[in-house]
Amino acid sequence: MTIRQEIIAELEANRESYVAFLQKLIQAASPNPPGDTTKATTVVREYLSTHGVEAEVVAPLPQAPNVVADFRGGKENDPRVIFNDHIDTYPVERPDAWPKGPYSGFNDGITIHGRGGVDMKAGTATSIIAYTILQRRAEGLKGSVRLVVVSNEETGGRWGTRYLLEHDPSRWGGDVVLNGEPGGLQSIRFGEKGTLRITFTVKSEGLNGAYTFVRKGRAAFIPLQ
């Protein structure tokens, strides 16, 4: 049996436990705002611990911790592969509009119901599961793998991915990033999206509004249009 066949067989054999993990993750509500992800990150840490992964917590905000882990393969140092996913979800505005409840994790045999099931706890659970499977086979791998499960994504990522990259880029930066964010095309795509923060200065000749007949000024916002 090849390694690929071995992994597929493991996935099929443990399907029910993977689904149960996702359900538990959905049931651990983590709407942002307000951004408290402690219940969900506890679920993540418990799962990783059960599967032999020594995870760390990086928490610039106590109520919004990030769970991280990494291992190095047995053959080479590169490439560095990053699993990057978020644990916070969009908030629920109308709980009564959810037939099964916003955090039920109910499995009807086809769909698992609950806020964050798509964006993006299913993707996060998938990355975590993949990481545990790969770590057990680390000796046969080239390069290294990092798992980065962050909070604060829904409100800009300042205390999640951005924080990690600004404070320890050598560890949490990589050559390849795998992200389970839903895209809708059922395909792997190369691309990038996120928040663009720009600081700029616009200058304009000043003018006293009482003396517009003397000379003409120009509003500073006009160049921005």
Q: What is the pLDDT of residue 217?
A: 62
pLDDT tens, 203-215? 777 666 665 555 5
Beta bridge partner(s), residue 83 = 147, 178
* Architecture per CATH, 3-197: 3-Layer(aba) Sandwich (3.40)
Quick count: other Cβ atoms within 10 Å of Cβ 131?
25
Q: What is the pLDDT of residue 196?
A: 74
Quick count: other Cβ atoms within 10 Å of Cβ 89?
25
Give kind and range of the element (H or E) at residue 178: strand 176-178
What are residue 97's phi and psi, to 5 degrees?
-85, -5
What mean pLDDT do residues 176-182 have?
Answer: 90
Q: What is the pLDDT of residue 201?
A: 80
Residue 69 has pLDDT above 70, yes or no: yes
Q: What is the pLDDT of residue 13?
A: 97
User: Model confidence at 184, in pLDDT bands (50, 70, 90)?
Assistant: low
Question: Which residues have CB under 8 Å from 32's CB, separation 6+?
Answer: 64, 88, 89, 90, 91, 151, 152, 153, 154, 155
Q: What is the pLDDT of residue 225?
A: 66
Q: Output the six-digit token pair for 68.
A: 């991280």
Q: Tokens 């047995």 appear where?
A: 74
* DSSP character string of 39-92: HHHHHHHHHHHHTT---EEE-SSTTS-EEEEEEE-SS-S--EEEEEEE--BPPP
What mean pLDDT do residues 17-21 have?
Answer: 98
Q: What is the pLDDT of residue 221?
A: 66
Q: What is the pLDDT of residue 203?
A: 75
Q: What is the pLDDT of residue 167?
A: 94
User: Model confidence at 31, in pLDDT bands (50, 70, 90)?
Assistant: very high
What mean pLDDT do residues 43-48 have?
Answer: 98
How far, rounded to the nearest angstrom, does the alpha carbon of residue 108 sit from its chain's CA centroid?
26
How far, rounded to the nearest angstrom, does the alpha carbon of residue 101 sit from its chain's CA centroid?
24
Q: Output the six-digit token pair for 47.
A: 């799962």
Quick count: other Cβ atoms within 10 Å of Cβ 127?
21
- Verdict on whether the full-model pTM lies above 0.75: yes
Residue 162 has pLDDT above 60, yes or no: yes
Give kind and range of the element (H or E) at residue 177: strand 176-178
What are residue 96's phi and psi, to 5 degrees?
-70, -15
pLDDT tens, 125-155? 999 999 999 999 999 899 999 999 999 999 9
Q: Tell me the domain boundaries of the chain.
A: 3-197
What mean pLDDT do residues 95-119 have?
Answer: 95
Residue 191 has pLDDT above 80, yes or no: no
Burial 95-125 (b: 16+ CB within 10 A, else e): eeeeeeebbbbbbeeeebbbbbbebbbbbbb
What value does the mean pLDDT of the chain take? 90
